[in-house]
Amino acid sequence: MHLVKWIRKNMSKLMAVFVILIMVAFIMPQVLNQLAKPRSRGPEKAMWLYDTDSEISYNAVRQATGELAVLKGLFIDKFLLGQRDFKYVLLGELLFPESVQGAAMSDEIKRAAMQNQFRVSQSRIDDFFGQSRGRSELFWLLLKAEAQKAGCATSPKQAGDILKMIVERMTEGKVDAATLVKNAGAAHQMTEDDCLQAFADVLTIVSYARIATEVEDVTESEMAAAAAMPQEKFSAEFVEFNAKTFADKAAEPSEQQTAEQFNKYKNYLPGVITQDNLFGFGYKQRARVAVEYMLVKLDDVKKLVTVPTEEEAEEFYQQNLERFVEEIPADANDPNAQPTQRQKSYAEVASLIKDALLNRKVSAKATSILGQATEIADAEIIGLDFEKARVEDFKAKAKDYSAASESVAKQNNIKIYAGKTGLLSAEDFQLSQSLGSLMMQSQSRIPTRLTKIAFALDQLGDEAAKLGPYEPAKPKMFVSVGPLLDNMGSVMAMIRVIDAVKAAVPPDVNFSYERNLPQVTENVQISENTYSLKEQVRKDCKNLAAFAITNQKAEEFMSAVKADGWEKSIKKFNADYPAKVADSNTFDMQKWTDKTRVSRSDMEMAKVAMSGSPAAERYINQSMVYGKLIDAFYSQFTGDSAEAANLPLMIKFQPQMSCFAVKSLNRTFAPIESYETNRQQIAYGKDYIIGQSMAFEFFMPDNITKRMNLRPAQKDDKSDSNSVADTGDDE
């Protein structure tokens, strides 16, 4: 009561203080921004040095800011970012970075990399976007200087002619380029000649980038191979003999055999095929992490929310009419007629709207429930200094998820599945129906999988997954991450990483661990809880023995074929080794039709594109094995023969522990005329891939600053010379 009286009595003084605080808050960011810049004694004094002794002054940065603003007014940002050539796109992203636009562009470039359009890894793409934000003026000045030093130039007249075409195309002739230049110059106190010169500098940078990245060193043999591979196809008929078929015939390995197998392959990672490890055996354990989790089933949450009413659905429809428009032909009898837009009626979309509103309510309620539990679990963590606190500090303050979720579950009358896993590999995560499909949405349109987030810990060092600038933030041990949603939209979760170990060679063959995966869905069998290395080694020993039997049986089959023919031999072996599944055969004649080889360069490009994700390693290894299998068949051809020699023949393939009894193996060649016709296009395609890949390194922000030797002008400046952020004028 006394406090209220005091406030009323001193209201005018308090208001004055509040006004002062607001003014301080308003000007403080600009003050701090100026203080953060390298110190200089005037606008013409050097802030930065580059090359040998060239200078960048504060006025130069201000001028660069104006030039970039003019270029944006001329639609050059949209022009650069709208090209298919990544030299334009990357330059556009450097000069005109925007977070939403950057996230979409990052996704598009990653998609292109996955389609083998160039050879750049996902993590390298993330490096580019992570380094490019906030330094536009410096990159503009450095790239201009570098191109001019190399002798590249574009005249303002050339720039004007090109700009005229660009503006006409981008505005569909509605805006005149001369008017646009005049208006842009007036808005930023620049002459029309200066505006054209700025665009000429853009073209000069692109010209220099083309010279630096388009090496044109594709050989004739490379072009011939690139032309032949997609069109040169082969077909085969064969019977496969696999070690699994004869596993029950193999003897159980002894303790000595088990120990010898472990010691021979303990330093290899599993699944990696090498010349001295053709079977891909490996017992070195990959990096593993343990997580604590809270999960709710969205079907359970659905029972807690009200179904959207007719009024709610109709209100949503009226507020979002633009979402419910479709294009239809203006004239149903004229297929070439321009399409027209039709507004869908409420009745047509009512059920879709109600489903969407219900899903939104369910998602909000699930987020609220998990948020309440997380608030309890992380209550004491919030007070820690996240930069200075140690893992032990976070561990001491983190409240157990099971205890934190108990009261929230009772309050909301819902089951919350909470617990802790053992130390899991990325492959272990995929064994869990709940954890393996969890993903988190961020700025990127592509959700990030839990397996990637959980393995992005600093504690894993060089083995850590790399999260991009548009993906969720790197996790900290014992700090909650989420909410995450599974790919079926059935489970929502919060998780925290509570332990991590790097890849290591097990101390002995008796190594084991408990998985403790969550059991959310009833009546669904989960994988064995205990991982036993000894069981895996014994299984490999037995399969190795079974492969020897497989080889022997395949040889017997080949002898039978030569004596009795294929059909009779297959029938006999099916009788001797009946299938365990009813109405099926152990051995059948299998056929491949029009198979093509996978080039080494394509395999390497796929490997590079998929690198950086722990869960991708298994798929990369499987792809490599498939490529080797195709090569094993193709290697049976000699010279220019259209049919393999010495048929029937047998192919041993250790990575799959299989033997293939081959009945026929034929190939068709790429026509010579096709190569001669497409020779130029093939050369361009190969050059394009090389050039696009090199463009990434050319425009990589850190590479630009290193090439130009950028450094602060004042040697006593304590700011990090490698972090050149926020150098523009913030007026």
Ramachandran angles phi, psi of 251, nearest 5°: -75, 150
Domain holding 20, by residue range, is 2-36
Domain membership of residue 223 (yes or no) is no
Within this chain, do residues 193 and 126 fall inside the same structural domain, yes or no?
A: yes
Domain membership of residue 729 (yes or no) is no
Burial bucket for residue 363 (CB in 10 Å: 0-12, 13-18, 19+): middle
% of residues, the chain, pLDDT over 70: 82
Tokens at residue 12, please? Answer: 């005018």
Domain membership of residue 611 (yes or no) is yes
Within this chain, do residues 489 and 638 fall inside the same structural domain, yes or no?
A: no
Within this chain, do residues 692 and 661 fall inside the same structural domain, yes or no?
A: no
Judged against a pLDDT cut of 90, whether residue 383 lies above it is answered with no
Query: Nearest CA to 203 among 69, 60, 71?
Result: 71
Residues 6+ apart with CB under 8 A from 681: none
Q: In this predicted structure, what is the pLDDT of residue 205?
A: 92
Domain membership of residue 730 (yes or no) is no
Within this chain, do residues 142 and 244 fall inside the same structural domain, yes or no?
A: no
Cα separation, 96 vs 132, whole angstroms:
10
Structure confidence at residue 384 as a pLDDT band (50, 70, 90): confident
| Assessment of whether the complete model's pTM goes beyond 0.85 | no
Q: In this predicted structure, what is the pLDDT of residue 568?
A: 94
Q: In this predicted structure, what is the pLDDT of residue 282?
A: 93
Within this chain, do residues 657 and 629 fall inside the same structural domain, yes or no?
A: yes
% of residues, the chain, pLDDT over 90: 36
- In DSSP notation, 303-345 reads TTSPPPPHHHHHHHHHHTGGGGEEEEES-TT-TTSPEEEEEPP
Domain membership of residue 264 (yes or no) is yes
Q: In this predicted structure, what is the pLDDT of residue 222?
A: 56
Task: Provide, for the chain, the percentages of residues in helix, strand and coil under a 3-state DSSP scheme, each rounded to the nearest 5.
Answer: 50, 15, 35
Residues 6+ apart with CB under 8 A from 221: none
User: Which residues are paired to 502 by β-bridges?
Assistant: none
Within this chain, do residues 27 and 52 fall inside the same structural domain, yes or no?
A: no
Structure confidence at residue 2 as a pLDDT band (50, 70, 90): very low
Within this chain, do residues 27 and 68 fall inside the same structural domain, yes or no?
A: no
Tokens at residue 27, please? Answer: 């000007």
Domain membership of residue 718 (yes or no) is no
Within this chain, do residues 321 and 447 fall inside the same structural domain, yes or no?
A: yes
Region 336-346: mean pLDDT is 81
Cα separation, 447 vs 464, whole angstroms:
19
Domain membership of residue 693 (yes or no) is yes
Domain membership of residue 723 (yes or no) is no
Count of C-beta atoms within a 10 Å radius of residue 530: 12
Looking at residue 141, its amino acid is L
Tokens at residue 473, please? Answer: 């933030």
- The total of structural domains in the chain comes to 4
Within this chain, do residues 138 and 263 fall inside the same structural domain, yes or no?
A: no
Per-residue pLDDT reduced to its tens digit, 104-113: 788 887 877 7
Within this chain, do residues 607 and 631 fall inside the same structural domain, yes or no?
A: yes
Count of C-beta atoms within a 10 Å radius of residue 307: 10
Per-residue pLDDT reduced to its tens digit, 395-438: 988 899 999 999 999 999 999 999 999 999 988 888 788 888 89
Within this chain, do residues 482 and 628 fall inside the same structural domain, yes or no?
A: no
Within this chain, do residues 485 and 614 fall inside the same structural domain, yes or no?
A: no
DSSP state of 291: E
